Amino acid sequence: MSKEEKHPNVPTPHITAKYGDFAKTVLMPGDPLRAKFIAENFLENPVLVNNVRGVNGYTGTYKGKRVSVMASGMGQPSIGIYSYELYNFYGVENIIRIGSCGSFDKDLHVRDIIIAMGACTNGNYAMQYNLPGTFCPIADFSLVRRAAELCEQAGVKYKVGNIFSSDMFYDDMNSGMQWAKMGVLGVEMESAALYCNAARAGKKALCICTVSDSFIYPEENTTAEERQNSFTNMMKIALELA
């Protein structure tokens, strides 16, 4: 049986890579240019394996270990598509989201790190599973524990806890701080869908986010270029995880 016959869903409408082009672990920033930056600055012999819709995906090696990096785009529907296809069609076992987030926590400042143990959401991604209750999307504990250890070793300031995956960037209710009173550390837009897909596929996922702006300290913020190129602590921790 040919490889094409064994994997009839590959390529997909969103990924043109062949089966085997992706490593077992994929780092997944939201920004395609951040994926390009990681590939060009951290991977040895990176090869472009996907560029549909400008969503760059690369595979190379890091310290002798085969690793891939591909962008997810913005929002739960986007990461939902890419992570589903990687888990279910390309044989990927681990996806580590490396993104940016806004912080609700007084102890976290710009460039500190949130390790998302769980992901609250105002989205309805989990409704597709027809569960008789509310599903709580969580990360793989072994990845959470190792990420925390790596932050400790690197002297990087971090917190482990819940993150809020919002379906809205421009929230008319300005509801972010309502989540803060429940101890949620920050807000982004992707992790809940990633964690749902990992759970359903029996695979592993983790979200590591660098704080790019703060609801507590509004004077702290980063530019698009800084988010693309300067969140290197998070990138290195994710690569060591891989």
Q: Letter for the amino acid at 74?
A: M
Residue-wise pLDDT tens digits, 176-213 = 789 999 999 999 999 999 999 999 999 999 999 999 99
Residue-wise pLDDT tens digits, 111-167 = 999 999 999 999 999 999 999 999 999 999 999 999 999 999 999 999 999 999 999
Cα 18 to Cα 12, 50, 66, 158: the distances in Å are: 9, 9, 16, 37
| Beta pairing, strands 57-62 & 65-70 | antiparallel
Residue-wise pLDDT tens digits, 75-93 = 999 999 999 999 999 999 9
Q: Which of 31, 112, 140, 213 is catalytic?
A: 213
DSSP-derived secondary structure letter, 43:
-
Closest CA to 200 of 131, 143, 144: 131
Q: Examine residue 13 and say whether the peptide bond preceding it is cis (omega within 30 degrees of 0).
A: no
pLDDT on residue 227? 57
pLDDT on residue 24? 98
How many Cβ atoms sit within 10 Å of the Cβ of residue 184?
A: 22
Q: Letter for the amino acid at 73?
A: G
| Phi–psi pair at 107, nearest 5 degrees | -90, -5
| Phi–psi pair at 92, nearest 5 degrees | -70, 135
The token duo for 5 is 């016959």
Block residue for tokens 């012999």 = 45
pLDDT on residue 1? 47
Closest CA to 163 of 183, 147, 148: 183
Rounded Cα distance between 119 and 139, Å, is 8
Which of the four pLDDT bands, split at 50, 70 and 90, describes residue 231? confident
Give the helix ranges, DSSP H, for the chain. Answer: 3-6, 32-42, 76-89, 141-154, 176-180, 191-201, 224-229, 232-241
Active site residue 31: no
The token duo for 61 is 């090696």
In degrees, rounded to 5, the angle at the alpha carbon of residue 102 between the alpha carbons of residues 97 and 104 is 120
